[in-house]
């Protein structure tokens, strides 16, 4: 520890602390532009100059480590003089356009200028003008305002993992730009808006819509992935105008993914359903709540009375709040149905009843940075978990080894130590190889059940799986780790696979052998919560696949667009068509709900209160930030009134808080959660390691900005390059085998469905696979997300080919 | 995109650095590419960056930072005249004027026949030979007089 | 052969000792003059690194790149034990106006530099070296590449030198038109294939240099002095010079002299002697001012420099500094406003742009001086210039900020009436030469 003094206040700090960190600890504000606690130190703006005893020139507080006994003055004459002169330099070429600048009112430069600037400029020469750049649909540029602090450049390189912006040119001509004509494609790009201390980078969707002081700021929780990022929703006149991160070091730090930042634009979509609707003779008619609910209740009662409770299927979105899931389950129960499920995109349910608890990510979010060895099974990391990937990136930057087994080889923008890219079907065998290699490493086979050992006998371990096992065990090229912190995460591509059970079971066995943390990292914001509450079929109930394959007479949909949100869109559509009655609680009116009979407008996360449970088991409640649009009502309220109307007992909650209390039985949520979280299995599930099938397999990945009804309707997100027309994407070699060239039109058949798609080369796809994105109307007619598929050329490439 | 000969030269430069530090060769690689192509188009820069496995923008930063890279097409002969203090004291102005007159172009201009481009340069570390210019970044011509300039231009024509 | 060599007999040739030979740059010439003997002796006799550093310290060799930092002391900063590659870097990026001495070393005596670097590598445990050469002197870059090939073929650099276990690879790398790359950390960034933007120090190159590894950076002339020191001993080198300034110094004389060129003389030589060697002021004119060490050193009016000796203390007593020994000589026809305008343009043009005061301030200075030179000056501009200069100075990452401030401060200080005249009359006080 070092003892120092800043502005006369004594403080004890760690070795290596910089002056600015020490001052921040003391609450002494040193002005700064380039410094940011999460980025490397550039020390280029020179705003943080302070006086240090025994030094004849001022030192930059951000880059100067303190020494024992240092006496620092941040407000002395010489410090202030230096700071003022830097301010003067910063302003000479800065436009004085604060009144029309979006940053106005929340601009660091403006704030500090008020404190340090001179009233009148001594600069009478011509000011610099810099051309604006078009860097994509999310971030708007006003480059003349740039003060070259390079925060944006450093963020994209260090946190985003790829250098997409640079400071080109030199001296006064230096300017921030992406490569000629390129846009910034990072899925974290919006953070550069927050980082920019001036108005050079601003939010394109938010541009010119409001002045910062007109906005009401309300806290909330981001609802698009299992991280549970803290957000601040900015509202004007009852309308959400932007979303910013709220700093929460242990969850999202100070960042936010673009999905969570820009999804709000989907809230104001013209698709929003504002009043209840009932279909009469095939035509939609608006109605009032009372009529709608009575009609819905009547239908539900009639059908369940006539055919029994099992005629009803209830589908709940994994993004619905805990309150909504809980009440939906109560309704199902009240109507005598055990058919309820939230696992809409899953197809393999063999683990039901075999788990010891609720699957979760197996550790806390910041722990990710501490792992030495990581294995990711079946996940396109950046697509599924934009911010989580960034934590893993930090671990890798600190020397962790990342290993990947996946059918997709998309660059996670961090060093990958070993990877195996194979067909989903072969992943089971690959995992068995890793298990066998691991069991051989320290004669750990003794720890495996005999049945598994017998199974492994037939397995041939290849060099790359051996390498993965060794990496997980902590072995190294130059030295071995004595007790490595190892983690294995099973991702969404595995979770949605027909052989998920086997993959997960093998992952569990591997983690058992090497003492690794095992975690499940699904897409969706409340999977853990829904699972813990058991929004899943009871012992006599049907899981989602069964409910769709063996159609029910009635469906209750909570925030689900069946064609787009289910594992098998075609089956879902058919089931809805065949049903006598489909009641949809939905935020949007859309084609995907054309087959419904009753539409009940529910409120999105900004207009309701509720609770989400993150992948790490954190229970977070939020309140509405605006009034519901039109006649919309919070989902929990609609379900409660529906319950009342149905006459089901126990539906007398006055608030979502009441529902929450009921969920946790009056206990402290965390107590319930920690009791429940457990990734281990009661027993081993049958594993077939050698299933051979040589046909093509579909990888029905859900693109980042298609995952739920809200993001699907956010225009700026839809304008990014991540939103592509669905195509049949495959490896160059695969195209060669099939005699296809890019641009060819092909007929893709899957199950009973088919679609005509264009062929596109994508060398990230494993051989033997075709990547055909899901959650898109153009591919909704196809079958399962992951399944056998055929591809047939119907027309040659019409484009000119070389 | 680049000739085998240029690639071979880049490979030679790469031998100077550790295998995992390919970016280090970007200065020479851009120089070699420019020598072959005359200037650095965005396609050429992208080629170099992908050959070295670095982000395009990283190569662009380098190409725009150093004066001797040309990001626009230049004439067959690029003449860069030093006008810095030591040359100025020995009347580089008259050399510039002579060139302006002779070629009919000013700084950053190219003759209509695409033969000559004129540039103003900073100190070339050869001030003892002032006034001077260099041609195509490689050939240094010192102790210039208008007559000597004529002679050199003659030779290039 | 060498147009630049004048009055060789009056010089004391150390770093350019081959220059009197018919083929000065060749390996044969160098070996004939005793070249590489010191390297061979040191490597085969396994001379202790500390003994070498002791000799360098005794020699009082101070960095010839401009800052004059004692070389022996710098070498002792390199970590002795390090698990990994250490690097050696030679700075031949001279781009400071008026400086052209290192070019002659790599042109006329490259092997002495190579030997000096090899000895340094041996002493500091560096395995790989780079000589970073100013991009504009391309022919000299190629000469140096050829010299490296010769030395490699002859076994003076490469693996297991002289059958020992000492190996040293030396490579030539080049700049491509950026003065700032003369600053050692910008140079390191440039070697790594990046923009030449100086790094904040600490950490210094000795702990975090090329590729983040311990690195020693010296100027060409500094390294080229090493073989002589090892041959004759540190004391002998010290004795060539004066107190606090050991050895000889290459002075690049440019501007209004009869014979511009490099002159290697003993430290402490009177300025008048050097001026005489260079043939005196041309065209029979009078000396007006000298910038003694490159534009980053203060300009000296004739009266201040005429009595000065050329060594670190001598010039600093006279109100400037030795810098890189780049004597820019100006006769009485020189317009100081025009001269300053050109210099401020240089610093404006060459600022790397990362620090606010340098990026914004150099442009401001240039624009004000330009305005004055266009007859639009205002009296208060002179105070503004001094003020802006002082606000840049000492507040930047590298010393370019100070370098940019120095000419403005010193020109305005010593030639204020000339600036005032220009502002009042809208034209120069100095008659046109023609
Ligand atoms: C703007 C700037 C330009 C410089 N240019 C050179 C140069 O061209 N050559 C050089 O040797 N040192 C130059 N230096 C000094 C180097 O940073 C460094 O101090 C020197 O190379 C160390 O070598 P030495 O100790 O042998 O002098 C420059 C410094 C600055 C701040
Ligand atoms: S002082 Fe100037 S040249 Fe030096 S680092 Fe700062 S901006 Fe770059
Ligand atoms: S905050 Fe320290 S230099 Fe910018």
pLDDT level of residue B91 (50, 70, 90 thresholds): very high
Task: Read off the pLDDT of each residue in A254-264 and give the average, rounded to a whole number.
Answer: 98
pLDDT in tens, A521-579: 999 999 999 999 999 999 999 999 999 999 999 999 999 999 999 999 999 999 999 99
* pLDDT at A501 exceeding the cut of 60: yes
Q: Are residues A412 and A504 in the same domain?
A: yes
Question: What's the pLDDT score for residue A119?
Answer: 75
- The answer to whether the Cβ–Cβ distance between A169 and B46 falls below 8 Å is no
Question: What's the pLDDT score for residue C4?
Answer: 61
Q: Are residues A151 and A262 in the same domain?
A: yes
User: C358 CB under 6 A from ligand 2?
Assistant: yes
For residue A16 the two structure tokens come to 């290596």
Count helices and strands (H / E) in chain B.
7, 5
Question: What's the pLDDT score for residue A414?
Answer: 97
For residue A575 the two structure tokens come to 């089931």
pLDDT in tens, A358-389: 999 999 999 999 999 999 999 999 999 999 99
Question: What's the pLDDT score for residue C392?
Answer: 97
Residue of A30, A33, A151 to test ligand 3 pocket, by largest number of atoms within 8 Å of CB: A33
The CATH number that applies at residue A412 is: 3.40.228.10
Task: Read off the pLDDT of each residue in A305-329 and give the average, rounded to a whole number.
Answer: 98
- b/e sequence C339-363, b meaning 16+ C-beta within 10 Å: bbbbbbbbbbbbbbbbbbbbbbbbb
* pLDDT at A446 exceeding the cut of 90: no
Domain ends where: A640, A675, A710? A675
- Nearest-CB residue to A58 (from C350, C384, C395): C395
Say whether domain B77-156 belongs to CATH 3.20.20.70.
no
Q: C190 CA distance to ligand 3 centroid (A)?
A: 23
Pocket of ligand 3 from Cβ distances under 6 Å: A 32-35, 43-48, 60, 62
Domain ends where: A520, A540, A572? A520
Task: Read off the pLDDT of each residue in A624-631 and give the average, rounded to a whole number.
Answer: 96
Question: For A791, phi and psi rounded to 5 degrees?
Answer: -130, 130
Residue A117 is assigned to a structural domain of this protein: no
- The answer to whether the Cβ–Cβ distance between B137 and C138 falls below 8 Å is yes
Domain count, chain A: 5
Task: Read off the pLDDT of each residue in B110-134 and give the average, rounded to a whole number.
Answer: 96
- The answer to whether the Cβ–Cβ distance between A44 and C354 falls below 8 Å is yes
Q: Are residues A207 and A322 in the same domain?
A: no
Q: Are residues A501 and A382 in the same domain?
A: yes
pLDDT in tens, A745-774: 999 999 888 999 999 999 999 999 999 999
Q: Give the best residue of C3, C89, C136, C251 to mutate against chain B (max B CB count within 10 A).
A: C136
Residue of C182, C224, C348 to test ligand 1 pocket, by largest number of atoms within 8 Å of CB: C182
- The answer to whether the Cβ–Cβ distance between A86 and C395 falls below 8 Å is yes
Ligand (nearest to CA of A62): 3
DSSP H helices, A93-219, are 108-116, 151-154, 191-195
Question: For A610, phi and psi rounded to 5 degrees?
Answer: 170, -175
Pocket of ligand 1 from Cβ distances under 6 Å: C 63-67, 69, 74, 91, 93-96, 180, 182-184, 217-219, 222, 398-400, 403
Mean of the per-residue pLDDT values of chain A: 94
Ligand (nearest to CA of C98): 1
**Alpha-carbon span A155 to A146, nearest angstrom:** 16
Tell me the nearest-neighbour CA distance from A353 into chain C, angstroms. 55
Question: What's the pLDDT score for residue A692?
Answer: 72
How large a percentage of chain B has pLDDT more than 70?
A: 100
Could you name the CATH architecture of B4-65? Orthogonal Bundle (1.10)
Q: Are residues A369 and A506 in the same domain?
A: yes
pLDDT level of residue A225 (50, 70, 90 thresholds): very high
pLDDT level of residue B157 (50, 70, 90 thresholds): confident
pLDDT level of residue A434 (50, 70, 90 thresholds): very high
Residue A643 is assigned to a structural domain of this protein: yes
Question: What's the pLDDT score for residue C100?
Answer: 96
Question: What's the pLDDT score for residue A800?
Answer: 44
* pLDDT at A239 exceeding the cut of 50: yes
Domain ends where: A67, A92, A117? A92
- The answer to whether the Cβ–Cβ distance between A163 and B57 falls below 8 Å is yes
Residues of chain C with Cβ-Cβ distance to B30 below 8 Å are 176
User: C355 CB under 6 A from ligand 2?
Assistant: yes
Ligand (nearest to CA of C205): 1
Q: Are residues A369 and A516 in the same domain?
A: yes
Question: What's the pLDDT score for residue A801?
Answer: 43
* pLDDT at A459 exceeding the cut of 80: yes
DSSP H helices, A569-696, are 569-578, 635-646, 656-663, 669-676
Residue A114 is assigned to a structural domain of this protein: no
**Alpha-carbon span B122 to A145, nearest angstrom:** 29
- The answer to whether the Cβ–Cβ distance between B85 and C295 falls below 8 Å is yes
Give the position of tokens 């040739």. Answer: C13
Q: C334 CA distance to ligand 1 centroid (A)?
A: 28
Question: What's the pLDDT score for residue C2?
Answer: 42
DSSP A20-75: HHHHHHHT-----SS--TTS-----S-TTEEEETT-SS-EETTT-B--TT-EEESS
Residue A406's DSSP bridge partners are: A421
Burial tier of C84 (Cβ tally within 10 Å: 0-12, 13-18, 19+):
exposed
Q: Are residues A228 and A254 in the same domain?
A: yes
Q: C195 CA distance to ligand 2 centroid (A)?
A: 12
Binding residues of B for [2Fe-2S] cluster: 82, 87, 123, 127
- The answer to whether the Cβ–Cβ distance between A44 and C357 falls below 8 Å is no
pLDDT level of residue A802 (50, 70, 90 thresholds): very low
Q: Looking at chain C, which subunits does it touch, using at least 3 CB pairs closer than 8 Å as the criterion?
A: A, B
Residues of chain B with Cβ-Cβ distance to A164 below 8 Å are 55, 57
**Alpha-carbon span A292 to A38, nearest angstrom:** 52
Tell me the nearest-neighbour CA distance from C281 into chain B, angstroms. 12
* pLDDT at A156 exceeding the cut of 80: yes
How does pLDDT run along chain C (434 residues), one tens digit per residue? 344 678 999 999 999 999 999 999 999 999 999 999 999 999 999 999 999 999 999 999 999 999 999 999 999 999 999 989 999 999 999 999 999 999 999 999 999 999 999 999 999 999 999 999 999 999 999 999 999 999 999 999 999 999 999 999 999 999 999 999 999 999 999 999 999 999 999 999 999 999 999 999 999 999 999 999 999 999 999 999 999 999 999 999 999 999 999 999 999 999 999 999 999 999 999 999 999 999 999 999 999 999 999 999 999 999 999 999 999 999 999 999 999 999 999 999 999 999 999 999 999 999 999 999 999 999 999 999 999 999 999 999 999 999 999 999 999 999 999 999 999 999 999 865 43
| Residue closest to A140 by CA, chosen among A179, A197, A182, A102 | A102
Structural domains of chain C sorted by starting position, each given as residue range(s) with its CATH number in brackets: 8-240 (3.40.50.11540), 248-331 (3.10.20.600), 336-425 (1.20.1440.230)
Pick from A291-305, A440-454, A475-489, B48-62: least confident: A440-454
Question: For B112, phi and psi rounded to 5 degrees?
Answer: -55, -30
For residue A141 the two structure tokens come to 């540029």
DSSP A735-754: HHHHT--TT-EEEEEETTEE
Question: What's the pLDDT score for residue A96?
Answer: 86
In terms of average pLDDT, the best of A47-56, A478-487, A678-687 is: A47-56
Q: Give the best residue of B17, B67, B125, B132 to mutate against chain C (max C CB count within 10 A).
A: B125
DSSP H helices, A284-371, are 289-307, 322-334
pLDDT level of residue A116 (50, 70, 90 thresholds): confident
- Report the residue count for chain B: 157
Residue A359 is assigned to a structural domain of this protein: no
**Alpha-carbon span A313 to C259, nearest angstrom:** 100
Q: A443 CA distance to ligand 2 centroid (A)?
A: 60
**Alpha-carbon span A469 to A760, nearest angstrom:** 34
Task: Read off the pLDDT of each residue in A718-738 and give the average, rounded to a whole number.
Answer: 94
Q: Are residues A7 and A130 in the same domain?
A: no
Mean of the per-residue pLDDT values of chain C: 96
Q: Are residues A142 and A232 in the same domain?
A: yes
Q: Domain range spanning residue A419?
A: 365-520
- The answer to whether the Cβ–Cβ distance between B139 and C138 falls below 8 Å is yes
* pLDDT at A113 exceeding the cut of 70: yes
User: C353 CB under 6 A from ligand 2?
Assistant: yes
Q: Which CA distances in Å does A453 have to A433, A438, A441, A692? A: 12, 12, 14, 21
Nearest-5° angle of CA C118, CA C121, CA C122?
90
């Amino acid at each position: 520890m070092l003892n120092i003094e800043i502005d006369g206040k004594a403080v004890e700090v760690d070795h290596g602390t910089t002056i600015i960190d020490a001052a921040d600890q003391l609450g002494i504000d040193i002005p700064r532009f380039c410094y940011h606690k999460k980025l490397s130190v550039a020390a280029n703006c020179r705003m943080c100059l302070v006086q240090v005893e025994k030094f004849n020139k001022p030192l930059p507080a951000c880059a100067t480590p303190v020494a024992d006994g240092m006496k620092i003055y941040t407000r002395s004459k010489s410090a202030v003089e230096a700071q003022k002169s830097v301010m003067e330099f910063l302003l000479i070429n800065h436009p004085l356009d604060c009144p029309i600048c979006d940053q106005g009112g929340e601009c660091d430069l403006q704030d500090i200028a008020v404190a340090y600037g001179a009233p009148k400029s001594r600069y009478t020469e011509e000011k610099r003008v810099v051309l604006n750049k078009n860097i994509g649909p999310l971030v708007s540029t006003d480059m003349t305002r740039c003060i070259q602090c390079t925060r944006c450049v450093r963020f994209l390189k260090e946190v985003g993992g790829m250098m997409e912006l640079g400071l080109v040119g030199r001296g006064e001509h230096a300017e921030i730009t992406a490569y000629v004509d390129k846009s910034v494609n990072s899925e974290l790009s919006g953070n550069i808006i927050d980082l920019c201390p001036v108005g050079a980078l601003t939010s394109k969707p938010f541009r010119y819509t409001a002045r910062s002081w007109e906005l009401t700021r309300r806290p909330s929780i981001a609802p698009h992935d299992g991280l549970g990022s803290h957000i601040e929703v900015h509202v004007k006149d009852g309308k959400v105008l932007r979303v910013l991160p709220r700093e929460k070091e242990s969850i999202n730090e100070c960042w936010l993914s673009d999905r969570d930042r820009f999804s709000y634009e989907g809230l104001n979509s013209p698709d929003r359903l504002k009043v209840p609707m009932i279909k009469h003779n095939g035509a939609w008619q608006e109605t009032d709540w009372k009529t709608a609910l009575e009609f819905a209740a009547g239908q539900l009662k009639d059908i369940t009375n006539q055919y029994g409770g099992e005629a009803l299927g209830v589908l709940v979105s994994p993004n619905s709040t805990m309150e909504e899931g809980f009440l939906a389950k109560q309704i199902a129960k009240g109507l005598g149905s055990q058919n309820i499920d939230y696992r809409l995109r899953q197809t393999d349910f063999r683990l039901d009843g075999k788990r010891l608890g609720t699957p979760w990510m197996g550790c806390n979010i910041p722990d990710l940075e501490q792992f030495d060895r990581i294995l990711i099974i079946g996940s396109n990391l950046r697509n599924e978990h934009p911010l989580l990937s960034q934590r893993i990136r930090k671990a890798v930057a600190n020397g962790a080894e990342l290993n990947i087994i996946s059918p997709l080889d998309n660059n996670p923008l961090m060093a990958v130590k070993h990877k195996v890219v194979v067909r989903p079907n072969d992943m089971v065998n690959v995992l068995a190889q890793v298990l066998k290699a691991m069991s051989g490493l320290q004669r750990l086979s003794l720890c495996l059940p005999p049945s598994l050992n017998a199974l492994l006998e037939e397995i041939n371990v290849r060099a790359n799986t051996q390498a993965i096992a060794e990496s997980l065990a902590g072995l190294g090229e130059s030295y071995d780790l004595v007790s490595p912190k190892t983690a294995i995460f099973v991702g969404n591509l595995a979770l949605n696979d027909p052989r998920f059970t086997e993959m997960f079971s093998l992952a569990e066995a591997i983690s058992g052998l090497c003492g690794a943390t095992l975690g499940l990292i699904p897409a969706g914001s409340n999977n853990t919560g829904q699972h813990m509450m058991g929004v899943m079929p009871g012992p006599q109930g049907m899981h989602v696949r069964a409910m769709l394959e063996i159609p029910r007479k009635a469906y209750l949909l909570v925030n689900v667009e069946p064609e787009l949100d289910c594992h098998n869109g075609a089956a879902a559509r058919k089931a809805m068509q065949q049903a006598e009655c489909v009641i949809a609680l939905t935020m949007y009116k859309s084609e995907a709900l054309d087959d419904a009979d009753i539409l009940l407008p529910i409120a999105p996360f900004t207009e309701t209160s509720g609770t989400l449970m993150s992948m790490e088991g954190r229970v977070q409640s939020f309140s509405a930030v605006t009034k519901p649009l039109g006649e919309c009502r919070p989902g929990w309220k609609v379900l409660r009134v529906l319950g009342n109307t149905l006459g089901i007992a126990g539906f007398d909650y006055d608030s979502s808080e009441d529902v929450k209390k009921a969920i946790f039985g009056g206990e402290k949520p965390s107590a319930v959660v920690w009791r429940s979280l457990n990734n281990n299995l009661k027993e081993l599930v049958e594993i077939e390691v050698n299933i051979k099938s040589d046909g093509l397999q579909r990888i029905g990945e859900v693109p980042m900005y298609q995952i739920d009804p809200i993001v699907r309707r956010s225009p700026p997100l839809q304008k990014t390059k991540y939103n592509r027309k669905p195509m049949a994407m495959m490896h160059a070699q695969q195209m060669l085998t099939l005699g296809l060239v890019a641009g060819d039109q092909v007929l893709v058949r899957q199950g009973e469905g088919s679609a005509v798609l264009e062929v596109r080369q994508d060398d990230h796809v494993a051989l033997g696979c075709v990547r055909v994105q899901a959650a898109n109307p153009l591919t909704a007619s196809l079958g399962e997300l992951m399944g056998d598929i055929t591809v047939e050329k119907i027309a040659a490439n019409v484009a000119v080919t070389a | 995109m680049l000739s085998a000969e240029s690639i071979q030269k880049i490979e030679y430069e790469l031998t100077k650095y550790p295998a995992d530090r390919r970016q280090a060769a970007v200065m020479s690689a851009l120089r070699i590419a420019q020598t072959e192509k005359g200037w650095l188009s965005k396609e050429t820069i992208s080629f170099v960056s992908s050959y070295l496995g670095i982000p395009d923008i990283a190569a662009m930063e380098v190409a725009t930072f150093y004066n001797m890279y040309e990001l626009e097409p230049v004439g067959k002969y690029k003449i860069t005249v030093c006008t810095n203090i030591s040359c100025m004291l020995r009347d580089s102005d008259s050399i510039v004027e002579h060139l302006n007159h002779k070629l009919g172009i000013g700084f950053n201009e190219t003759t209509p026949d695409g033969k000559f481009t004129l540039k103003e340069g900073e100190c070339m570390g050869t001030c003892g030979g002032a006034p001077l210019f260099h041609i195509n970044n490689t050939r240094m011509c010192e102790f210039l007089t208008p007559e000597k300039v004529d002679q050199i231009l003659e030779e290039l024509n | 052969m060498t147009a630049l060599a004048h009055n060789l007999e009056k010089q004391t040739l150390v770093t350019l000792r081959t220059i009197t030979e018919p083929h000065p740059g060749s390996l044969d010439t160098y070996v004939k003059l005793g070249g590489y003997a010191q390297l061979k002796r040191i490597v085969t006799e396994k001379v202790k690194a500390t003994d070498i550093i002791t000799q360098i310290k005794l020699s009082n060799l101070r960095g010839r790149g401009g800052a004059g930092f004692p070389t022996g002391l710098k070498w002792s900063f390199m970590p002795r034990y390090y698990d990994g590659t250490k690097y050696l870097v030679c700075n031949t990026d001279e781009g400071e106006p008026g400086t052209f001495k290192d070019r002659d070393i790599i042109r006329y005596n490259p092997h002495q530099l190579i030997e000096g670097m090899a000895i340094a590598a041996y002493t500091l445990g560096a395995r790989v070296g780079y000589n970073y050469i100013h991009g504009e002197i391309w022919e000299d870059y190629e000469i140096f590449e050829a010299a490296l090939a010769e030395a490699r073929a002859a076994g003076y650099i490469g693996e297991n030198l002289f059958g020992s276990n000492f190996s040293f690879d030396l490579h030539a790398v080049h700049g491509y038109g950026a003065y700032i790359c003369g600053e050692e950390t910008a140079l390191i960034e440039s070697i790594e294939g990046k923009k030449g933007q100086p790094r904040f120090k600490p950490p210094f190159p000795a702990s975090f240099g090329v590729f983040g590894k311990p690195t020693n950076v010296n100027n060409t002339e500094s390294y080229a002095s090493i073989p002589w020191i090892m041959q004759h001993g540190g004391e002998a080198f010290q004795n060539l010079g004066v107190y606090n300034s050991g050895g000889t110094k290459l002075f690049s004389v440019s501007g209004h002299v009869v014979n511009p060129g490099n002159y290697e003389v003993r430290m402490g030589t009177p300025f008048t002697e050097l001026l005489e060697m260079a043939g005196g002021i041309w065209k029979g004119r009078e000396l007006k001012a000298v910038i003694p060490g490159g534009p980053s050193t203060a300009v000296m009016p004739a009266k201040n420099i005429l009595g000065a000796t050329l060594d670190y203390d001598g010039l600093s007593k006279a109100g400037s500094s030795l810098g890189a020994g780049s004597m820019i000589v100006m006769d009485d026809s020189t317009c100081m406003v025009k001269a300053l305008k050109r210099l401020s343009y240089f610093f404006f043009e060459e600022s790397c742009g990362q620090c606010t005061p340098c990026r914004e301030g150099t442009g401001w200075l240039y624009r004000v001086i330009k305005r004055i030179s266009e007859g639009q000056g205002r009296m208060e501009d002179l105070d503004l210039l001094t003020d802006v200069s002082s606000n840049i100075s000492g507040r930047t990452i590298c010393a370019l900020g100070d370098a940019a401030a120095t000419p403005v401060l010193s020109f305005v200080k010593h030639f204020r009436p000339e600036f005032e005249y220009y502002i009042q009359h809208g034209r120069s006080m100095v008659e046109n030469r023609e």
